[in-house]
């Protein structure tokens, strides 16, 4: 009896309801836990890991896959707190980080060194643009982004180049096949993998090396997977292979929160789990600890219209709470101003800005709210904007460091060979590239081996300087110099900091602060990881996401997309832009499965709210310089009115000049004459990525070549850019007419 009590002592430290406890204690084979929003999914996963370790399973025999690095860190910390000792050896992290770990150790089996570089999405696009140029493919017929999307889809399905070549029908598919083949060739030559490669290469590794697979099957006695509804084909195959020997899989997820179909997630993985893993024990977590009853009733009513789902009903012991509000506004500007006023009134009370979130379908919707918040002096944080490690100056620094780990990384070399400017333009690069190609060397290897005088007197000074810099940095790296000292030395040798200091502009000072912050981050990382190397730091950086680095700020209101909000919670939530064409997206009107995913996306947004939820739609929205009519989302229209209070606030807030309103109406009328509703562009066609530039961004001009954006003024048709080109000349350009490329 005493032994029985000790066995459960770990669980007694956590407050678990009966269903949660049963799920944790079950060890009879495959297990699927349907964990509804706010039902304690993380608590159950944490308790399961702690219970397994406490029962005698060594941490090194547990494989726990999460979908964010932040979740992995929090889970590890909680487990250690529960059991009272460090869980050294525990395999816990994102699928990408766990697969990267395997590939670092086993990559030679598929001809990869342990020091391979991980390319992010920007790197991927840059490399694909090179492929398009080398294959003489017009980027107006196939853009780099289109090619990247299709290649990602192939990799998520674990389709090889050869398989894609065989199935290619018609000119377009054959061209994509050519791009895919050349892209993979360059990746291998540069000893690089993109994010999708981390998964698909792990699958190929297991498929073609049965002895290695069996070793990992014996190693991992238990496989735990978070957010199982968002797994793609590659992730599913990895899980299936690892579980084939023991059958001990613990999957946690919620089909009602499957929102990543557009990037390869397969909802069928969770819906048909029992078919793949026979004798599965199923648990349903339906008690919600987050939201009040009115919000849950609203959420249940929305998701009930989906047919492809497991039946479940969230409930709570919390109070009834405020009624859900559905508000009508005249236009998107009024919507933003009204919500800004409401938030201002809220934060005057007991609610902090950090407890409030404004959620929207696309990044482009953030602009009017940012303007309204600045006008109302409301501090805010935009989640999902340019992340720290995507800033141009940070990528410059990291490119230098990446080359020290992987000298075959030509993409990183192309980024920094003339950064800071040292008189080396495109022709200079071509000179070096010719030598490197003839010698079967990478660009950096070519630079280190060539007699720079042979590259031409015009380029001798610049190349000599760059060669000396890398020779010194390589020596430091080989001698085991700490990472922060290597970066400091690079900044001194290149004069990078001096240039930023001399500019004395707001932009340069901001960039200087970012570089200093990178130095701080490396110093802290080195202190916390004394046994790790530069390659380890670069891997961690390459796998970080926006949500990983997001921290709730006490007084700052949170602006983010619905996708970014998944897994988070806020006391007050404003769901904006609930119109047909936005949510659901117009692009998905003809596909019922995608309509259901859009409904799940709305459901995710609703279930972020704890105490107060307001949804809003507008009569007309500014798009493409005209006011276009808005129709309330079909998801709202299908709901019985008993689930919310409807308020028409189109007159109450933000009265505008009648003459302005008249002109806007005339524009709208003209627009409707030109474009029928069915011909109107979908909201997704007007993404932030296609219409906005950012300071520090690298661009290419057909006449002036490559350059970097120093400053931006104005917006829309009046936007002006100041660009520093590689020839050292600053030019002011009208963004509308410049035809700049990334």
The structure tokens listed for 71 are: 């979740």
Q: Residues 258, 230: contact at Cβ < 8 Å?
A: yes
Residue 693, C-beta contacts closer than 8 angstroms, at least 6 positions apart: 699, 709, 712, 719, 721, 735, 740
Residue 123 and residue 407: Cα distance in Å, rounded?
16
The structure tokens listed for 512 are: 């200087």
- What three-state secondary structure class fits 724? strand
Active-site choice (106, 123, 196, 227): 227
- What three-state secondary structure class fits 332? helix
Q: Residues 221, 246: contact at Cβ < 8 Å?
A: yes
Active-site choice (13, 21, 42, 341): 42
- What three-state secondary structure class fits 570? strand
Catalytic residue status for 498? no
CA geometry: angle 508, 512, 518, nearest 5 deg? 145
Residue 213 and residue 206: Cα distance in Å, rounded?
5
Catalytic residue status for 594? no
The structure tokens listed for 574 are: 């404003």
Residue 263 and residue 575: Cα distance in Å, rounded?
23
Shortest CA distance to 182 belongs to which of 107, 146, 129, 112?
A: 129
Active-site choice (68, 182, 257, 334): 257
Residue 250 and residue 28: Cα distance in Å, rounded?
11
Catalytic residue status for 645? no
Residue 522 and residue 364: Cα distance in Å, rounded?
33
Residue 457 and residue 183: Cα distance in Å, rounded?
34
**What residues are paired with 328 via a beta bridge?**
617, 648
Q: Cα–Cα distances in Å, from 676 out to 623, 628, 672? A: 15, 11, 6
Total residue count of the chain as it appears in this document: 742
End-to-end CA distance of the chain: 69
Active-site choice (54, 123, 226, 410): 226
Phi, psi of 177 (to 5 degrees): -60, -45
Active-site choice (608, 621, 623, 706): 608
Residue 572 and residue 128: Cα distance in Å, rounded?
42
Neighbours of 207 (CB within 10 A): 12
The structure tokens listed for 135 are: 């294959």
Catalytic residue status for 280? no
Residue 595, C-beta contacts closer than 8 angstroms, at least 6 positions apart: 584, 588, 589
Residue 202, C-beta contacts closer than 8 angstroms, at least 6 positions apart: 99, 102, 103, 234, 238
- What three-state secondary structure class fits 281? strand
In the block, tokens 């950090």 appear at: 354
In the block, tokens 């840059």 appear at: 126
Question: For 479-553, where are the alpha helices, taking DSSP H only?
Answer: 483-494, 496-503, 506-528, 534-542, 546-549
Residue 287, C-beta contacts closer than 8 angstroms, at least 6 positions apart: 17, 19, 39, 40, 314, 315, 316, 317
Catalytic residue status for 608? yes
Active-site choice (31, 41, 94, 619): 41
In the block, tokens 């970080």 appear at: 544
Q: Cα–Cα distances in Å, from 542 out to 70, 306, 519? A: 14, 37, 16
Catalytic residue status for 481? no
- Radius of gyration (C-alpha) of the chain in whole angstroms: 27
Contacts for 105-108 with beta carbons within 8 Å, 24 or more apart? 106/205, 106/209, 106/212, 107/201, 107/205
Report helix angle 392-405 to 483-494, nearest 10: 110
Cα dihedral sign, 349-355-361-363 = positive
In the block, tokens 């001194």 appear at: 492
The structure tokens listed for 94 are: 């994102």
Active site amino acids: 41-42, 226-227, 257, 608
């Amino acid at each position: 009896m005493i032994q029985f009590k000790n066995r459960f002592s770990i669980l007694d430290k956590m407050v678990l309801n009966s269903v949660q406890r049963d799920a944790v204690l079950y060890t009879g084979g495959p297990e699927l836990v349907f964990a509804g929003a706010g039902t304690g999914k993380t608590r159950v996963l944490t308790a399961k890991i702690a219970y397994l370790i406490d029962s005698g399973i060594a941490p090194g025999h547990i494989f726990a896959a999460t979908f964010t690095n932040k979740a992995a860190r929090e889970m590890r910390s909680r487990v250690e707190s529960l059991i009272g000792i460090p869980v050294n050896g525990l395999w816990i992290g994102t699928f990408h980080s766990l697969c990267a770990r395997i590939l670092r150790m086993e990559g030679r089996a598929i001809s990869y060194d342990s020091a391979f570089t991980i390319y992010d999405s920007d790197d991927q696009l840059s490399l694909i643009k090179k492929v398009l140029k080398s294959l003489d493919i017009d980027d107006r017929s196939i853009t780099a982004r289109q090619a990247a999307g299709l290649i990602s889809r192939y990799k998520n399905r674990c389709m090889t180049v050869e398989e894609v070549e065989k199935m290619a029908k018609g000119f377009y598919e054959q061209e994509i096949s050519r791009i895919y083949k050349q892209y993979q060739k360059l990746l291998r030559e540069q000893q690089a993998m993109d994010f999708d490669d981390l998964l698909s290469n792990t699958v190929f590794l297991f498929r073609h090396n049965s002895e290695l697979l069996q070793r990992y099957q014996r190693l991992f006695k238990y496989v735990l997977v978070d957010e199982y509804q968002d797994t793609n084909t590659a992730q599913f195959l990895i899980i299936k292979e690892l579980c084939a020997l023991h059958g001990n899989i613990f999957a946690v997820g919620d089909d009602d929160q499957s929102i990543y179909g557009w990037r390869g997630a397969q909802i069928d993985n969770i819906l048909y789990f029992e078919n793949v893993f026979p004798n599965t024990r199923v648990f349903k977590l339906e008690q919600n600890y987050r939201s009040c009853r009115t919000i849950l009733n609203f959420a249940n009513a929305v998701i009930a219209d989906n047919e492809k789902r497991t039946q479940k009903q969230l409930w709570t012991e919390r109070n009834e709470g405020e009624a859900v509000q559905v508000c009508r506004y005249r236009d998107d500007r009024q919507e933003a101003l009204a919500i800004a006023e409401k938030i201002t009134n809220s934060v005057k009370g007991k609610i902090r800005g950090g407890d409030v979130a404004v959620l929207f379908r696309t990044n482009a919707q953030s602009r009017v709210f940012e303007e309204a918040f600045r006008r109302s002096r409301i501090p805010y944080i935009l989640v999902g904007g340019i992340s720290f490690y995507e800033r141009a100056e940070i990528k410059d620094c990291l490119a230098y460091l990446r080359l020290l780990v992987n000298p075959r990384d030509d993409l990183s070399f192309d980024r920094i060979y003339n950064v800071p400017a040292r008189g080396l333009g495109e022709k200079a690069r071509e000179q070096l590239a010719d030598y490197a190609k003839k010698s079967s060397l990478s660009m950096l290897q070519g630079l280190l081996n060539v007699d720079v005088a042979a590259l031409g007197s015009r380029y001798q000074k610049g190349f000599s300087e760059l060669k000396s810099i890398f020779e010194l940095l390589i020596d430091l790296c080989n001698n085991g110099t700490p990472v922060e000292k290597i970066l400091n030395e690079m900044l001194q040798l290149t004069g990078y900091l001096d240039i930023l200091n001399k500019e004395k502009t707001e932009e340069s000072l901001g960039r200087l602060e970012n570089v200093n912050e990178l130095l701080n981050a490396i110093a802290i990382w080195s202190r916390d990881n004394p046994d790790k190397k530069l390659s380890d730091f670069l891997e961690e950086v390459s796998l970080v996401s926006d949500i990983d680095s997001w921290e709730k700020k006490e007084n700052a209101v949170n602006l983010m997309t619905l996708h970014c909000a998944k897994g988070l919670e806020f006391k007050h939530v404003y769901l904006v832009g609930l119109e047909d064409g936005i949510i659901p997206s117009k692009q998905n009107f003809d596909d019922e499965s995608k309509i259901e995913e859009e409904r799940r996306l709305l459901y995710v947004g609703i279930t972020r709210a704890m105490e107060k939820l307001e949804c809003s739609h507008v009569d007309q929205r500014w798009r493409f310089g005209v006011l276009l009519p808005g129709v309330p989302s079909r998801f709202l229209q299908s709901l019985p009115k008993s689930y919310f209070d409807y308020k028409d606030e189109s007159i109450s807030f933000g009265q505008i000049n009648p003459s302005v309103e008249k002109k806007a109406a005339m524009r709208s009328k003209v627009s409707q004459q030109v474009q029928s509703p069915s011909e109107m562009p979908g909201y997704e066609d007007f993404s932030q990525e296609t219409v906005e530039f950012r300071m520090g961004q690298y661009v290419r001009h057909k006449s002036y070549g490559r350059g970097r954006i120093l400053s931006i003024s104005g917006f829309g048709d009046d936007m002006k850019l100041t660009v520093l080109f590689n020839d050292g000349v600053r030019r002011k350009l009208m963004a509308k007419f410049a035809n700049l490329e990334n």
